[in-house]
Chain A
């Protein structure tokens, strides 16, 4: 079975959710997590702090240096993600469809490289 990452994208300066809408979204995401778990597709999920909390490490002149993040200075940033198991892209899209509704945010679906069969 393939694995897919469903990334939730937020846009800086996008419409702020009201506190009721935020609470509803949290409830919907919880329910979706449970539904994924019950269906046996859930591998991992998590929400991320704002990208102002990010740090970047890289090798420079043979030494590893740490700098203030984020790595990409963009208007759009990943707010969280799921890793799910699915037979094919259409099965993954069916979950992403629910995810984009629950999060009220765009979802990017990307396949992982296939794991060698154990």
Chain B
């Protein structure tokens, strides 16, 4: 018998927790019951597997063990006239137990976690908790929220799902596009939180970014025909490929133009670019696919001078047509500056209603300094600095301001 190491159990936990919870939610109709039972099953596994070795189907073992635990628990609760226990037992009797390959119920659970009746920070927390298997303290730390606050948020959400009757169901096709876009938004939000922490010392919490990529892979696995799910995965992979180059060893931020491109992660770039090509062949463009294509264009260039700004600007035009938001217009202006000069871009930027967004002021400051308006640039950097809570970003902006000619 081959002994099982803790990291192996950890790996099984990461890979199978969400799937097991989803199956149990489906058979008992209750998230609390499912979560608790799956956690107990892993506790048993930690005790048993080191002696018995890994079972042939770890997921199946976890699910069967969890189901037995849940039924035992519910029987004793039901004896005490617990209404929920009775209902859950009844549901589990009606739910067929198939001993075949483990059914994948995660897609239903994802749509439950990202239901529009839940606040967006709750959608994020539930997705990380139930699909990602992150603990409540881990999620609280990641979002810089007190643990008790996060615990209460998650408990309330689970009760709302139960009491308001939020269903475990993949939405019908009439609603799917809308609902899918909120699922993708949750995953992208998690990625961005991992990429640039919105507050705090450290610029990146790359474990969150890695978790978002893992969730993105699950979405693609579960919805292989959704081009935007592919687009989101490609976008995250391509952005993440630059992770090694975007800060110095001292934690200073490095802009894409100044990054050492030899340390970009080639395997992530290759994977991201091949997904972008697949999306192009399918030709059902959407915002995530276009953003992925923009990032693929950056990844193509061995140095900043080789960047195909023409292609990038065209992609931004396409993106702006689909999602005409001031933030997209701001990003487009950055590409425009490279092609037509800073003055043209500045005129565009000055029309945007984005006064509360620190990057609006940062982009403006850069353009102002490029047209020689150093006093105005100084003011714009000050406005940007006042609006960012991230220490690394603030330090970067302060240095840029200090580097302006007197």
Judge if B165 is at the interface, Cβ distance under 8 Å. yes
Task: Check A111 against B164 for contact (C-beta < 8 Å).
Answer: yes
In the complex, A90→B112 CA distance in Å?
11
Q: Label chain B's interface by main secondary structure.
A: loop
- Chain B's closest residue to A113 (CB) is B163
Task: Check B163 against A111 for contact (C-beta < 8 Å).
Answer: yes
Task: Check B117 against A88 for contact (C-beta < 8 Å).
Answer: no
Give the Cβ gap from A6 to chain B, nearest Cβ, in Å: 13
Judge if A2 is at the interface, Cβ distance under 8 Å. yes
**A90 proximity list for chain B (CB < 8 A):** 166-167, 169, 171
Instruction: Give B137-167 as 1s and 0s: 1 = Cβ < 8 Å from A's Cβ atoms.
Output: 0000000000000000000000000011111
Which chain A residues (63-93) contact chain B, with CB distance < 8 Å?
86-90, 92-93
Q: Label chain A's interface by main secondary structure.
A: mixed
In the complex, A54→B15 CA distance in Å?
57
**A87 proximity list for chain B (CB < 8 A):** 165, 167
Give the Cβ gap from B33 to chain A, nearest Cβ, in Å: 17
In the complex, A70→B121 CA distance in Å?
34
**B166 proximity list for chain A (CB < 8 A):** 88-90
Task: Check B167 against A93 for contact (C-beta < 8 Å).
Answer: no
Which chain A residues (87-118) contact chain B, with CB distance < 8 Å?
87-90, 92-93, 109-111, 114, 116
In the complex, A90→B116 CA distance in Å?
10
- Chain A's closest residue to B179 (CB) is A90
In the complex, A5→B338 CA distance in Å?
56
Number of residue pairs A-B, CB distance < 8 angstroms: 28
Q: How many residues of B contact A (CB 8 A)?
A: 10
Task: Check B165 against A111 for contact (C-beta < 8 Å).
Answer: yes
- Chain A's closest residue to B84 (CB) is A114
- Chain A's closest residue to B161 (CB) is A89
**B163 proximity list for chain A (CB < 8 A):** 111
Give the Cβ gap from B246 to chain A, nearest Cβ, in Å: 41
In the complex, A86→B169 CA distance in Å?
15
**A2 proximity list for chain B (CB < 8 A):** 165
- Chain B's closest residue to A93 (CB) is B117
In the complex, A91→B254 CA distance in Å?
50
**B164 proximity list for chain A (CB < 8 A):** 89, 109-111
Instruction: Give B376-400 as 1s and 0s: 1 = Cβ < 8 Å from A's Cβ atoms.
Output: 0000000000000000000000000
In the complex, A116→B81 CA distance in Å?
12
Give the Cβ gap from A34 to chain B, nearest Cβ, in Å: 23
Instruction: Give B245-275 as 1s and 0s: 1 = Cβ < 8 Å from A's Cβ atoms.
Output: 0000000000000000000000000000000
Residue among B83, B165, B171 with the most chain A CB within 10 A?
B165
**A116 proximity list for chain B (CB < 8 A):** 83
**A88 proximity list for chain B (CB < 8 A):** 165-167, 169
- Chain B's closest residue to A92 (CB) is B165
- Chain B's closest residue to A1 (CB) is B165
**A86 proximity list for chain B (CB < 8 A):** 165
**A110 proximity list for chain B (CB < 8 A):** 164
Give the Cβ gap from B176 to chain A, nearest Cβ, in Å: 12
In the complex, A114→B86 CA distance in Å?
14
A residues whose Cβ falls under 8 Å from a Cβ of B: 2, 86-90, 92-93, 109-111, 114, 116
Q: Can you list 8 A-B contacts (CB < 8 A)?
A: A88-B165, A88-B167, A89-B115, A89-B117, A89-B164, A89-B166, A111-B163, A111-B164
17 new A-B contacts, CB < 8 A, other than A90-B166, A90-B171, A93-B117, are A2-B165, A86-B165, A87-B167, A88-B166, A88-B167, A89-B117, A89-B164, A89-B165, A89-B167, A92-B165, A109-B117, A109-B164, A110-B164, A111-B163, A111-B164, A114-B83, A116-B83
